[in-house]
Chain A
Amino acid sequence: MTTLLITTWVGALITLCCFTFLIKDNPFYRFAEHLFVGVSAGYYLSTISFHQVLKPNLLAKIWPTYFASGTAAEATPEYILIIPGLLGLLMLFRFSSNLSWVSRFTVAFVMGVSTGIAVVTSAEQYLIPQVKKAIVPLIVSGDYFGSFSNLVLVVGTVACLFYFFFSTEHRGPVFGNVAKVGIWYLMISFGAAFGATVMGRISLLIGRFNFLLSDWLHLIK
């Protein structure tokens, strides 16, 4: 029970310190900031990096008898994983000023894999579905408003795409106007997205005040 009490009090004080950020830079915020950065970096180092990534994905696969538990401990070791392990270790050459170029092999490998994936997956998962979304019939029988809405959708997509042209100036009767319509669409979209998000953000603040007023001060039930 005491642990819970301490946690609540520590939490409430940290919460208040963080809120003072809104007023100006002050010792309370600085204290909370440094503690938060330190604790979260420690958490990511030990719990996330070591226990949740390195141990199950690398150590437990290479030395199952030591690092894995249950049935996984009897699995055959996957020695191929020594390759990423070594590549990871190469990064540590950054500590040396003469040999830091060795880490470039790792950087090159990471870049190659991630760009290779990006080329194909961005086309498959985003590009094609978005193009498909814009292709709608302009005439919906019996539904004038629906037809109009579809027209708005198609015109908007095309106009905004014109806005992103880089090799032509946004001038002239055709190009200038189409790009301008594109900007209008973008503005409407930004406004709508902004407005829609406000609600969620306020919910978060309500959650915080609920913690302070009920869990800590017990002012409301």
Chain B
Amino acid sequence: MIFLKRTLPLIITFITGMIMIVAFFSGEGLPSIKSLESTLPKWIQIIMTFTMVLGAFSLLRINLQKISRKADGWGYSLVLIIGFLSMAFLGLITGSWPMFDKPLTKGEIYYVLCEDNVSARPIRVIDNVKDKEGKIKVEYVDDKGEKLADTESAMIPPDTARTRIMSYANSMQQILFVGVFKNAQSTMFSLLAFFVASASFRAFRIKSKEAGLLMGSAFIVMLGNVSIGSLVSQILAYIPVIGPYLNIADIKEWIMTYPSSAAQSAILIGAMLGYISASMKIIFGVERSHLGGEG
């Protein structure tokens, strides 16, 4: 059992790791090994999506437990579960279109997305035979199926048209996706503007020489990025001798390209050495905590 539980996983890691390294160095003379360089990463991607089941299960179990125990704030857990299940369901069926539906029928009314990408408008299929660009002929109608007076018939790709139910599902999904997901996402992202301010207020204090350098370069770069910076440069230009050289934007650019980029290179070089040796430790089985214990 120890062999199965402990040694075999180590052998698997060693062999796959070695294969990837050999594949990287193999030339065109070894096409089947060379091809593994791109195949195996794709496999990894597939394998990792299977664990989504574990994640979804963890999310559901914890929140269902809270609800059943009526724990503090169980109502929010209910919100989470409703959001999760409805988005998962809507995503599953809208993404499957047109898998679950028949081909479009002539004379029937379907719905296509409007330019705002959220709402849908009704159309009637005039001709369901695809032309050479794979499109079909439709006309725009109102909700009762009457042709709209001021519109002409149009050519659309058939997979953009949906049945009424699918169009409702799509609208619901768009409300959740655009209304909730996208907006919450960009709002959380934009909170950074506030946190950048509070962090710089607290942290940029000249407590030591190092802190002074940190603040100084941050200050110059911030100043160089906005129009006030050029105003300051114009004032500084009045200083005799060195004045004309004190262009904030130029100083900013110099800091970015020389001292700052030198430090960035060094960080990257160090980090990459760390990457390589950490990887080697795993391939050779020195580091094995990710495999857990004997049990």
Please tell me whether chains A and B touch each other in their complex, using a CB distance cut-off of 8 A.
Answer: yes
A interface with B by C-beta (< 8 Å):
1-4, 6-12, 14-15, 18-19, 21-22, 30-47, 49-51, 53-54, 57-58, 81, 83-85, 87-89, 91-92, 94-95, 101, 104-123, 126-127, 130-131, 133-134, 149, 152-157, 159-161, 163-164, 182-199, 201-202, 204-205, 207-208, 211
The CA of A185 and the CA of B267, in the complex, are separated in Å by 11
**Neighbouring A residues of B13 by C-beta, 8 Å:** 108-109, 111-112, 115
Asked if A193 and B260 make an inter-chain contact with CB atoms under 8 angstroms apart, the answer reads yes
Q: List 28 A-B contacts (CB under 8 A).
A: A10-B175, A10-B180, A19-B191, A30-B73, A39-B87, A39-B180, A45-B55, A47-B95, A51-B95, A53-B49, A101-B292, A104-B5, A109-B13, A109-B47, A112-B15, A113-B40, A115-B278, A116-B283, A119-B283, A120-B24, A122-B275, A126-B272, A127-B276, A157-B262, A187-B214, A191-B215, A192-B255, A205-B194
Asked if A43 and B9 make an inter-chain contact with CB atoms under 8 angstroms apart, the answer reads no
Known: A35-B83, A156-B258. A126 touches B46 (CB 8 A): no
**Neighbouring B residues of A54 by C-beta, 8 Å:** 46, 49
Query: Given A101-B292, A189-B260, 14 other A-B contacts at CB below 8 A?
Result: A14-B184, A15-B187, A32-B184, A42-B87, A81-B43, A112-B282, A113-B17, A119-B20, A153-B258, A153-B262, A185-B259, A189-B217, A201-B192, A201-B196
Asked if B222 and A110 make an inter-chain contact with CB atoms under 8 angstroms apart, the answer reads no
Asked if B83 and A108 make an inter-chain contact with CB atoms under 8 angstroms apart, the answer reads no
**Neighbouring A residues of B15 by C-beta, 8 Å:** 112
**Neighbouring B residues of A106 by C-beta, 8 Å:** 47
Asked if B260 and A188 make an inter-chain contact with CB atoms under 8 angstroms apart, the answer reads yes
Q: Tell me the residues in window 264-278 of chain B with beta carbons closer than 8 Å to chain A beta carbons.
A: 264-273, 275-276, 278
Known: A30-B76, A113-B17, A149-B254. A14 touches B187 (CB 8 A): yes
The CA of A44 and the CA of B54, in the complex, are separated in Å by 13
Question: Most B CB atoms within 10 A — which of A111, A133, A149?
Answer: A111
Known: A4-B119, A31-B76, A130-B268. A104 touches B292 (CB 8 A): yes
Asked if B279 and A43 make an inter-chain contact with CB atoms under 8 angstroms apart, the answer reads no
Q: Tell me the residues in window 86-134 of chain B with beta carbons closer than 8 Å to chain A beta carbons.
A: 86-92, 95-96, 116, 118-120
Asked if B47 and A110 make an inter-chain contact with CB atoms under 8 angstroms apart, the answer reads yes
Q: Which 10 A-B pairs have the closest CB atoms?
A: A116-B20, A156-B262, A42-B87, A38-B83, A112-B16, A88-B50, A195-B221, A46-B91, A160-B266, A191-B217
- Interchain nearest-CB distance for A191 vs B (Å): 3
**Neighbouring A residues of B118 by C-beta, 8 Å:** 3-4, 7
- Residue of B176, B225, B270 touching A199 (CB-CB under 8 A): B225
- Interchain nearest-CB distance for A17 vs B (Å): 8
Asked if A112 and B261 make an inter-chain contact with CB atoms under 8 angstroms apart, the answer reads no
**Neighbouring A residues of B41 by C-beta, 8 Å:** 113, 117
Asked if B262 and A160 make an inter-chain contact with CB atoms under 8 angstroms apart, the answer reads yes
Q: Does B238 contact A (CB under 8 A)?
A: no
Asked if B9 and A113 make an inter-chain contact with CB atoms under 8 angstroms apart, the answer reads no
- Residue of A34, A37, A57, A191 touching B46 (CB-CB under 8 A): A57
Asked if B221 and A115 make an inter-chain contact with CB atoms under 8 angstroms apart, the answer reads no
B interface with A by C-beta (< 8 Å):
4-5, 8-10, 12-21, 24-25, 40-57, 59, 73, 76-77, 79-92, 95-96, 116, 118-120, 171, 174-194, 196, 200, 209-211, 213-222, 225-226, 252, 254-273, 275-276, 278-280, 282-283, 290-292, 295
The CA of A157 and the CA of B272, in the complex, are separated in Å by 15
Known: A22-B191, A91-B51, A192-B255. A42 touches B91 (CB 8 A): yes
Asked if A39 and B84 make an inter-chain contact with CB atoms under 8 angstroms apart, the answer reads yes
Asked if A43 and B258 make an inter-chain contact with CB atoms under 8 angstroms apart, the answer reads no
Asked if B16 and A127 make an inter-chain contact with CB atoms under 8 angstroms apart, the answer reads no
The CA of A120 and the CA of B191, in the complex, are separated in Å by 38
Asked if A205 and B193 make an inter-chain contact with CB atoms under 8 angstroms apart, the answer reads yes
- Residue of B180, B194, B215 touching A36 (CB-CB under 8 A): B180
Asked if B47 and A118 make an inter-chain contact with CB atoms under 8 angstroms apart, the answer reads no
Asked if B190 and A113 make an inter-chain contact with CB atoms under 8 angstroms apart, the answer reads no
The CA of A39 and the CA of B175, in the complex, are separated in Å by 11
- Residue of B46, B187, B194, B290 touching A85 (CB-CB under 8 A): B46
**Neighbouring B residues of A193 by C-beta, 8 Å:** 260, 264
Known: A21-B191, A84-B43. A194 touches B50 (CB 8 A): no
Asked if A50 and B95 make an inter-chain contact with CB atoms under 8 angstroms apart, the answer reads yes
Known: A3-B118, A46-B91. A108 touches B268 (CB 8 A): no
Asked if A3 and B171 make an inter-chain contact with CB atoms under 8 angstroms apart, the answer reads yes
**Neighbouring B residues of A45 by C-beta, 8 Å:** 52, 55-56, 84, 88, 91
Asked if B291 and A160 make an inter-chain contact with CB atoms under 8 angstroms apart, the answer reads no
